[in-house]
Structure 1
């Protein structure tokens, strides 16, 4: 599994980028938001990735941050949402907006994305309500639900271990409260696991 690519942006297209790492060009599908965040061709980039593997294909999808990647995983877990639709949703809504839309059960907001009709939008907000961490009460709650930096990576680590998003977010937030904002990823994950076990 490829977790991220760090290299030089070789080129971009309408729905992809080519990132050169060690002389190899990786073709990476991406949302328009991620493509806009990459910067100019020829510059160094870091892209979080998700490898999609099927019977007759292998595809790498890239994201500007771990939160966007985690939402991609949640979205593609909904019946009827493939990689293309998930990327269309992530092109229309950033992770914080998506979090608010799901928490408020705002299917119209999700339906703004290309290829998402009212029925699919309703299924997405209904199925992801519990998985996305419940109701968001304000800016502080959004920040807690969608952490950044080491905290985001710690949440991602807990999600990969099988924790639900709400459990992972609250355990990491509690660990970060104890350790402070300068805590290392290793320390956050260790303390978050202890807190989640209680």
Structure 2
């Protein structure tokens, strides 16, 4: 699983961006507020990633400027009726700390300002989040703002290489086998880009 990307921003689209990490380009879907705050193409940037998989879309990476926003996103998408697009829209108008405050005030109207979120869904979001410990989502309403959290473990080269192959449409079992063979050839200290190239050679591409 990919948890973070740090690399050179190549381009920014209407709903996503392309980041070059050691020669491998990753497309990350982002909210409008995140895209607006990215640096100019050619500069280095870091995004925290939520890596999802669905039968309809396959693998997809969602990018966020902080761990708090990533955790808020996963908490929102766990609510029935809240898909990734709606969750991004909510975070566009209410960053994590403001969302927590809106939930504490039961301010359904604030949540309903998000594009594609109607009054009924806004009520469900407020109700569902109020019934949980918002600290589990990495944010709580407080004067100090967002609470700090422990940084996640850095993804392994093998894990990132497998994820990259999945993004190219390779079946997971084949991707893992190819990466394992590549690491046997190159050694555990090999760079990510070299492992991906070797794995693609194993797959006959």
Name 2:33's counterpart in structure 1.
Answer: 33
> 8 Å contact 1:103–1:135 — kept in the other structure?
no
- Residue deviations 1:115-138 (CA, integer Å, cap 9, x gap): 0000000000100112314983x4
Instruction: Give the secondary structure class of the aligned counterpart of 1:39.
Output: coil
Name 2:62's counterpart in structure 1.
Answer: 61
- Residue deviations 1:80-122 (CA, integer Å, cap 9, x gap): 0000110111111111111111121111000000000000000
Q: Distance between the aligned counterparts of 1:2 and 1:125, measured in 2? A: 29
Name 2:75's counterpart in structure 1.
Answer: 74
TM value normalised by structure 2? 0.68
Q: 1:40, CA displacement in angstroms?
A: 0.9
Name 1:8's counterpart in structure 2.
Answer: 8
> 8 Å contact 1:103–1:132 — kept in the other structure?
no
> 8 Å contact 2:97–2:140 — kept in the other structure?
no
Name 1:131's counterpart in structure 2.
Answer: 133
> 8 Å contact 1:16–1:35 — kept in the other structure?
yes
- Residue deviations 1:39-90 (CA, integer Å, cap 9, x gap): 1111100100001101241100000000100100110010000001101111
**Matched ranges for 1:108-187 at <5 A:** 108-129=109-130, 130-133=132-135, 136=141, 138-140=142-144, 143=145, 146-147=146-147, 151-154=148-151
Structure 1 gaps, min length 5: 158-198
Q: Distance between the aligned counterparts of 1:32 and 1:13, measured in 2? A: 10
> 8 Å contact 2:2–2:51 — kept in the other structure?
yes
Larger Cα-atom Rg: 2
Q: Distance between the aligned counterparts of 1:41 and 1:106, measured in 2? A: 38
Q: Distance between the aligned counterparts of 2:53 and 2:66, measured in 1? A: 21
RMSD: 1.8
Structure with larger RCO (C-alpha < 8 A, sep 6+)? 2
Q: Distance between the aligned counterparts of 2:60 and 2:121, measured in 1? A: 24
In structure 2, the CA distance between the partners of 1:139 and 1:53, relative to structure 1 (3 Å rule), is same
Q: 1:153, CA displacement in angstroms?
A: 3.1
Structure 2 gaps, min length 5: 154-205
Q: Distance between the aligned counterparts of 2:134 and 2:103, measured in 1? A: 7
1:91 has 2:124 as partner: no
